[in-house]
A and B are shown apart, each in its own frame.
Chain A
């Protein structure tokens, strides 16, 4: 049996009932990586030695019996944006090519405290900016459903590694859609949490008022379980409020009778792929069969949200990436004076998209342009937030497509940055509003996976997880696997 194909809950059951060991489970994942990752290129670093020694330790604990976490002994991949003590962390950038963090991100520490087995670090767009993983300094990841296509991004390595059964689940980050969109493209389940739900301490910063961390898995029940272990307040991240962490795994078992679903007309637009539209509408119909009520709503700021995002995100990132100056860590070109160290280290260390965003952000924040761009973008953000808050007075969840199209060809959009940005139109509004969102597979268009986006109120992850889980109890789309040899 290929143990790597199991879900998290299946793997936990098998370990608990001693049908197999963590060493066997881990070996199967590593075997799959060896077999396929020369084609998929989901990983930037594979930690075979660390994974095997952690698996052995977990087996000893499991043998002893009591008090074992459901995450114990289970292989997980981690986006290469999370600092992992002693294990190279690159953010897919040349500027951090040789960076070995001396500490763990809080989310990683939590996994380790639960005896998780970290198999490796996955590919992404450099500093989590892009939508295809093509902006990685180490080359693109390939979509397991069609190797000529992108896996989405920026957590494309993570979603590809789950889709190709190279691990049981993964951790990613979502700033403007970076978990939801690649989950949709790769046919897996992915959760963007509400802003502040999961500590971001030790995760390389992209845009600090938008960054969130979340799980990517083979089904929604697994996401619910993982979230319970990584969510909560952290004294090291002051944006995490003291809001109670729900018992997600219990909440998702409640049925959907009377659930109110909002369908925003602005998300069903001309130019959307017909196959995407049909798959999403079929899914909505299924929810109606399960007892939910569908209500037409309007989110009028949707279009302006994208413009606002593409000022706020670059503005914040231009500030956050100022720390890469060749002094304290990372690439340092020291041929001349201090000014030249800054210029040479940054110019040689950052890739094209990182530089582009730094330039946009610097321009938007510079004297004379601040009011027209940054200030106006922050005001529009308020209106976007109000849009959602108003809608959620009438509905419990909002359903939309994750992206207007299924996965596109590698190279198709990379030369036109604006076309790439426009792809984010359905995911960035929720990021600006700080609400939570889920991507679940709901069918195929041209043989490629299509995801449904389920948006929920701030800190109400249990409701969107419940909707996703109840849908998966009654459908099989999430069980479809790519054919890979």
Chain B
């Protein structure tokens, strides 16, 4: 199987990555080789087999819905690239009409 440049571009856009022409070329070859390898999964008979998404068998862990002060709210906000007055700043996403 060979992933086309168009397919690589589509996956990159889903993943919010912008690739250079060289990267697209490289990933098209490398991802194709990796997918060819994992295609051997198709030969395994999994009829009637349940999926495993975690192995410890734990079910939901619940706690009281109580507020516990972290004590570091300001510090957490201050690691944001742009912040002020206790808020994370982002660029405008809606225009006033």
Contact = CB atoms under 8 A, between A and B. Distances in A.
Interface of A: 99-103, 194-196, 209, 235, 238-239, 241, 301, 303-304, 307-308, 310-311, 318, 322, 325-332, 334, 337-338, 341-344, 346-347, 350, 355-356, 358-360, 362-363, 366, 372-373, 375-383, 385, 417-418, 421, 432-434, 458
B55 A356 contact: no
A251 B86 CA distance: 51
Given A102-B75, A329-B80, A383-B44, 20 more contacts: A102-B76, A196-B58, A209-B53, A241-B58, A308-B38, A318-B15, A322-B16, A327-B90, A331-B81, A346-B18, A347-B17, A360-B35, A362-B15, A363-B35, A366-B14, A378-B52, A379-B46, A382-B51, A382-B52, A417-B34
Contacts of B52: 378-379, 381-382, 385
Contacts of A433: 55
A195 B55 contact: yes
A357 to B, nearest CB: 10
B18 to A, nearest CB: 4
A343 to B, nearest CB: 4
Interface string B24-51: 0001001101110111111010100111
B50 to A, nearest CB: 6
Given A209-B53, A334-B91, A363-B31, A343 B18 contact: yes
Contacts of A318: 15
B71 to A, nearest CB: 9
Contacts of B70: 103
19 contacts: A102-B72, A103-B70, A209-B55, A238-B58, A238-B61, A241-B58, A303-B40, A330-B81, A343-B16, A355-B19, A356-B27, A356-B31, A362-B14, A372-B42, A379-B49, A417-B33, A418-B37, A421-B37, A434-B56
Nearest to B33: A418
Contact of A328 (B31, B63, B75, B80): B80
A359 B31 contact: yes
Contact of B12 (A235, A301, A359, A421): A359
Contacts, number: 161
A380 B46 CA distance: 7
A296 to B, nearest CB: 23
A347 B79 contact: no
Interface residues of B, number: 49
B82 A332 contact: yes
Interface string B1-25: 0010000100110111111000100
A130 to B, nearest CB: 14
Contact of B58 (A239, A363, A385): A239
Specify the main secondary structure of chain B where it touches its partner. loop
- Interface centre among A100, A377, A433, by most chain B C-beta atoms within 10 angstroms, is A377
A103 B53 CA distance: 29
A344 B90 contact: no
Specify the main secondary structure of chain A where it touches its partner. helix
- Interface centre among B38, B46, B49, by most chain A C-beta atoms within 10 angstroms, is B38
A359 B11 contact: yes
Contacts of B46: 376, 379-380, 383
Given A326-B81, A329-B81, A195 B40 contact: no
Given A310-B34, A380-B46, A458-B55, A359 B79 contact: no
A99 B81 CA distance: 10
B90 A338 contact: yes
B93 interface: yes
Contacts of A376: 41-42, 44, 46
Given A308-B41, A418-B33, A334 B15 contact: no
Nearest to B62: A238
Given A304-B44, A363-B31, A99 B79 contact: yes
B70 to A, nearest CB: 8
B55 A346 contact: no
Q: Nearest 5 CB-CB pairs, A to B?
A: A434-B55, A332-B81, A102-B75, A378-B51, A379-B46
